[in-house]
Amino acid sequence: MHRKVMVVAGVCLLAGALPFLLRSVPTMHAAASGAPAYAKNGDLLPLADYREWIYLSSGMNMSYSPKAADTAAFDNVFVNPEAYRNFMATGTWPDKTVMVVEVREAESKGSINQNGHFQGAALIGFEAHVKDEARFPGGCAFFDFHSPTTNGNLIPRDASCYSCHADHAAVDTTFVQFYPTLLTVAREKKTLSEGFLRADSGQPIAGK
């Protein structure tokens, strides 16, 4: 589901800078199911029930550039249940897949904790990665949200997350290589991309 000035994480499910602070904006009507639904202006409608979806994995301080993030944060990735069931059966994502990444600041001081980090309660970033083949060139798009209860704005197609996902995703423009339970399924179903398999084996990627 990627960080922009602070998340274009994993959605751009994860394409590394630092988490941005969420701003308060008016709440719109949420989509009725896990399938993507859009406002008249093309915004993605809210995904307020995403916490009832399938949890895939968490990353901490992930960055796709050499520069480390300035703020320690967790990226939590979820996918709509219908898409998850299809992936488990086939190793591929169906049309209308929606993946989300929520970003929470990592905290270390709280209650009885003496070492390590835990996730803070406040969201500091939220994005979605949508597969909608009839609607978007290339079949997918990324959306940036102020919060799960507001509309998501389409990230422009010249943003780096599109080329990053196309070049490096393990399965169908998604970073399945970072979702351990799904990576096993993709290996069994033989659906991993050729580019990922070459990179995983240490072979150079064509054109790189």
Domain assignment present for residue 127? The answer is yes
Tell me if 11 sits within 8 A of 77, measured CB to CB.
Answer: yes
In 3D space, the residue among 43, 21, 41 whose CA is nearest the CA of residue 30 turns out to be 43
Indicate which CATH number applies to the domain containing 99: 3.50.70.20
Please report the pLDDT score of residue 65 as a whole number. Answer: 65
Tell me if 36 sits within 8 A of 143, measured CB to CB.
Answer: no
* Number of separate domains in the chain: 1
Domain assignment present for residue 33? The answer is no
Q: What is the CA radius of gyration of the chain?
A: 17
pTM, two decimal places: 0.78
In 3D space, the residue among 187, 178, 6, 34 whose CA is nearest the CA of residue 100 turns out to be 34
Domain assignment present for residue 144? The answer is yes
In 3D space, the residue among 175, 123, 147 whose CA is nearest the CA of residue 1 turns out to be 175
**What percent of the chain has pLDDT above 70?**
74
Domain assignment present for residue 16? The answer is no
In 3D space, the residue among 135, 125, 15, 146 whose CA is nearest the CA of residue 76 turns out to be 125
Please report the pLDDT score of residue 144 as a whole number. Answer: 97
Please report the pLDDT score of residue 195 as a whole number. Answer: 85
Domain assignment present for residue 11? The answer is no
Look at residue 50 and give its three-state secondary structure.
Answer: helix
Q: What is the DSSP code string of 108-147?
A: --BTTB-SS-EEEEEEEEEEEEEE-TTTSGGGEEEEEESS
Please report the pLDDT score of residue 3 as a whole number. Answer: 42
Please report the pLDDT score of residue 7 as a whole number. Answer: 37
Domain assignment present for residue 103? The answer is yes
pLDDT one-digit tens code per residue, 111-162: 776 777 666 788 889 999 999 999 999 999 999 999 999 999 999 999 988 8
Q: Which residues of the chain have pLDDT under 70?
A: 1-33, 61-70, 113, 117-119, 201-208
Domain assignment present for residue 147? The answer is yes
Amino acid identity of residue 175, one-letter, is F
Amino acid identity of residue 109, one-letter, is K
Domain residues for 158? Answer: 50-200
Please report the pLDDT score of residue 207 as a whole number. Answer: 41
Domain assignment present for residue 190? The answer is yes
